[in-house]
Amino acid sequence: MQAEVIVVTGGAGFIGSHIVESLLSGGARVIVLDDYSTGKKSNLLNVETHSNLNIYEVDLTQNIKASLTRVEEEAGMIDRVIHFAAQTAVVNSIENPIQDIHSNSMMTVHLLEYFKNKNLKKFIFASSAAVYGDVAEFPIQEDFSCEPLSPYGINKLASENYMFYYSKVFGIPSVALRFFNVYGPRQDPANPYSGVISIFLERAMKGLDLNIFGDGKQTRDFVYVSDVVQAIDKALYLESKNFSAVNIGSSLETSINQLAQSIVNLFPEAGSKINHLSARDGEIIKSLSSTDKARALLSFEKKISLEKGLAETAQWFIGCESTLSKRTLSETR
């Protein structure tokens, strides 16, 4: 039997590259579409020469139809799509809400339009807990009202609404995975709005102080990337023809104070201290997912504890640091 063709937009990104590896090991033909705006070629280093992988460097805000037509000419009919390409920073969406439409919901609609009469077997979308806005009741369930408080969250919700419409009217089966705070190897600590775990790990490893915004009592629901991959894989082969929106989290809340202390404890020799700076504007105080729906629909079970996930991510950061210093050493020779 011929391998299924699966397109991963944003496949060179943090989560995307992990799902690409998992799909290839399952025997699929994988097509990555990425413009390397936040994704990196190095994220696909383990698989870049795999005979079942094709990588196309394309800007998906421009002429998606031409890119997908080319893919189908070269690889055959596309069976499933995992749509992860997006502008990922909430703060950018606030600063430039119009641009954000182009690189978020508009891209989703272009993709759905392309697939509307093509018998696509599944369309998976990286949604976010940002669709909920400020919630009064916990844990957060999928049927709570969605009142997003950023253009980023508005776009995620708009994409979901389009997916619902294209499933009802054009029969494109789809799943929106509402990610809580995902962390793990390859998360890039490059800017102040990168995931807090990547920032804290990088700083603790170098013995730099960890800066907590506010009193640190705010909580987040951290989920390890391999658990997320497990959920994506299940969603990709879900039997349903409809649209579903599903939370993907750990159903555990951790305060930023606890997190910072656990990370400092991983590098006892480095001597980082913990500081408190003023709170970020518009910060949510609490985040906690219900994953009952994920369990029922996708047999989702969190496998990696925060302790184990932090240790594995720390190992990855240490590995990167030593590769970098080896490279710098050989370059200066």
Give the interface with ligand UD2 as residue ranges (CB under 6 A): 90, 128-130, 181, 193, 195-196, 199, 211-213, 218, 220, 256, 280, 283-284
Spatial separation of the C-alpha atoms in residues 92 and 156, rounded to whole Å? 14
Name the one residue in this structure whose structure tokens are 């080896």: 326
Q: Which is nearer to ligand UD2, 22 or 211 (CB)?
A: 211
Minimal distance, residue 131 CB to ligand UD2, in Å: 8
Cβ contact 221:288 at 8 Å: yes
Q: How many CB atoms lie within 10 A of CB 36?
A: 13
Minimal distance, residue 37 CB to ligand UD2, in Å: 15
Minimal distance, residue 271 CB to ligand UD2, in Å: 18
Minimal distance, residue 269 CB to ligand UD2, in Å: 22
116 SS3 class:
coil
Q: DSSP label at 30?
A: E
Q: Which is nearer to ligand UD2, 213 or 316 (CB)?
A: 213
Environment class of 325 (CB within 10 Å of its CB; exposed 0-12, middle 13-18, buried 19+): exposed
| Residue 152 annotated in active site | yes
Among 56, 114, 132, 152, the active-site one is 152
Q: Which is nearer to ligand UD2, 81 or 130 (CB)?
A: 130
Contacts for 83 with CB less than 8 Å, ≥ 6 apart: 9, 10, 107, 108, 111, 123, 124, 125, 126
Cβ contact 247:128 at 8 Å: no
Q: Which is nearer to ligand UD2, 165 or 213 (CB)?
A: 213
Task: Give the catalytic positions in this structure.
Answer: 152
